Every structure is written in structure tokens, then in C-alpha cells.
């Protein structure tokens, strides 16, 4: 697909940008720090999209319709702490405003497999988010924080985030990835408040995951 250069005065489009954060390279695949990539891949698969053969703005990008919206799904290939240059480039080229950009990233301060969706906020010390905020010049854009838990004992957090999830954690992680995809769809379809109300918390905290109450049997 050939990109046509837009005039710099072109108004903001109706496109949305979903960014999953991670590090490129097989050695980082499926690590805790790459949960954003994993969620992006799940979103792309769920909607029958595919990534373009050529990188766009230093990112692997898929484009198509999700929840009735024109959406770009991107995985920056700059390494985590330089993610902002990729996000800034895509946003500038497509004239995508910050409120139409949603970033999915790992969070050490949330329990494993817990989601926290917010319309804006700081980086929380996350290097990729720090760079995105710096490059966009604002922190007022939606995000999905995906809990990966704290490292055990005195383990270095830098080493912990580059570990893969244990076999015991995988079922909860897979479920949370599915919930993150549904949260993105909800955001696109109904807005950030709806996504927050439905998907914030662990699976057992989310109203959408609660079983319907059963009628009481007569005595």
C-alpha cells in the first residue's frame, strides 16, 4: 500500500491509533515487557487484519475496521524506551489527535492480569510511556495498563520484565489479553468511560465477567 503525503494543513481525521508496546526481536517475544505487543497481535487476529510488509514510521502496522472505526494497530520497532518517535510519526502523518490514540503497556504496580484503563495520566515510570508523552507533548491520551505484578524478593525489575510468564500464570494472562481486546473494542465503539466501567480490574472484578444471578429456588 502506497502512502500519499498529506498536506500539513489537513484537518484531524476520524482514524484511531492503537499502540501495543514491546521490544522487537525473538529473544523478547512473550516476555512480560512485551504484553502490549501480545495484545496488539490478538486485536489484529480477532478482526482478520494483517500487518503491512513494510514498516511505517518505525512500526509494524495493520490497518482496517474495528467496531465500525478506521483503526491503525501499531507495534513500534524502536525498542521500548524510544517508542515515542514511532507514535509521534504515525499521529502526525495521519493527523490523529491524542484522544484517538490508545496505548497498551505493562505495569509492575498492578497485580498480574489486572487491567487499568484511563483517559490520561503520567508514565508511572514506564520508559516507553515516558517517551510517548515527551514526543506527543501531552499525557492526555487513553491507555490500558496491563498488570504484570512485582518481581519476587530482591529481583531486579529490569530482569523481571524480560522474563516470560510462568505456566501457572498463563491462563490468567490469556484471559486478560482477551479482555484487553474487548476493552479496546469497547473504547472504539462506546468511549473510554464505558471501557473503564466494564473492564477495569481483574477478571473477577469486571461486571462483564460475572455470572448472571441465579433465581432462588422455592422452599
How far apart CA 88 and CA 182 sit, in angstroms, is 25
Backbone angles phi, psi at 73, to 5 degrees: -115, 125
How far apart CA 34 and CA 22 sit, in angstroms, is 4
Pairing state between β 143-147 and 101-107: parallel
Q: Are 17 and 94 in contact (CB under 8 A)?
A: yes
Specify whether 33 is catalytic. Answer: yes
Query: Residue 61 to residues 74, 87, 194, 208: CA-CA distances in angstroms?
Result: 4, 11, 26, 30
Catalytic member of 33, 47, 100, 126: 33
Active site residues: 33
Amino acid at each position: 500500500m502506497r502512502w500519499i503525503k498529506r498536506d500539513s494543513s489537513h484537518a484531524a481525521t476520524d482514524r484511531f491509533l492503537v499502540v501495543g508496546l514491546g521490544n522487537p526481536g525473538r529473544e523478547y517475544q512473550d516476555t512480560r515487557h512485551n504484553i502490549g505487543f501480545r495484545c496488539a497481535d490478538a486485536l489484529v487476529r480477532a478482526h482478520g487484519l494483517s500487518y503491512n510488509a513494510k514498516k511505517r514510521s518505525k512500526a509494524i502496522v495493520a490497518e482496517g475496521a474495528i467496531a465500525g472505526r478506521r483503526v491503525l494497530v501499531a507495534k513500534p520497532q524502536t525498542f521500548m524506551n524510544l517508542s515515542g518517535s514511532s507514535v509521534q510519526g504515525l499521529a502526525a502523518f495521519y493527523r490523529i489527535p491524542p484522544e484517538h490514540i490508545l496505548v497498551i503497556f505493562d505495569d509492575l504496580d498492578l497485580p498480574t492480569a489486572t487491567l487499568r484503563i484511563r483517559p490520561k495520566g503520567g508514565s508511572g515510570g514506564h520508559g516507553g510511556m515516558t517517551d510517548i508523552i515527551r514526543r506527543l507533548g501531552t499525557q492526555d491520551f487513553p491507555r490500558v495498563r496491563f498488570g504484570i505484578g512485582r518481581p519476587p524478593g530482591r529481583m531486579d525489575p529490569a530482569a523481571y520484565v524480560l522474563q516470560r510468564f510462568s505456566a501457572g500464570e498463563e491462563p490468567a494472562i490469556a484471559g486478560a489479553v482477551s479482555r484487553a481486546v474487548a476493552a479496546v473494542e469497547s473504547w472504539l465503539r462506546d468511549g473510554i468511560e464505558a471501557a473503564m466501567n466494564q473492564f477495569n480490574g481483574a477478571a473477577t472484578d469486571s461486571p462483564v465477567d460475572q455470572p448472571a444471578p441465579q433465581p432462588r429456588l422455592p422452599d
